[in-house]
Amino acid sequence: MAWSCMTNAEVLHQVEHGYRMPPPPSCTTTLYDIMVECWHKDPMKRPTFETLTWKLEDFFTLDNSEYKEATVAY
pLDDT digits (tens, 9 = 90+) for 22-42: 898 888 999 999 999 999 989
- CA distance to 6, 9, 27, 31, 63, per residue, from 12 (Å): 10, 5, 24, 24, 38
Please give the pLDDT value at position 35: 94
Question: Nearest-CA neighbor of 64 among 34, 28, 36?
Answer: 28
What percentage of the chain has pLDDT greater than the value 70?
81
Q: What is the pLDDT of residue 72?
A: 53
From 33, 35, 30, 36, select the one nearest 64 (Cα to Cα): 30
Cα separation, 13 vs 66, whole angstroms: 33
Q: Pick the residue with more confidence: 70 or 10?
A: 10
pLDDT value of residue 71: 53
- According to DSSP, residue 24 is labeled P
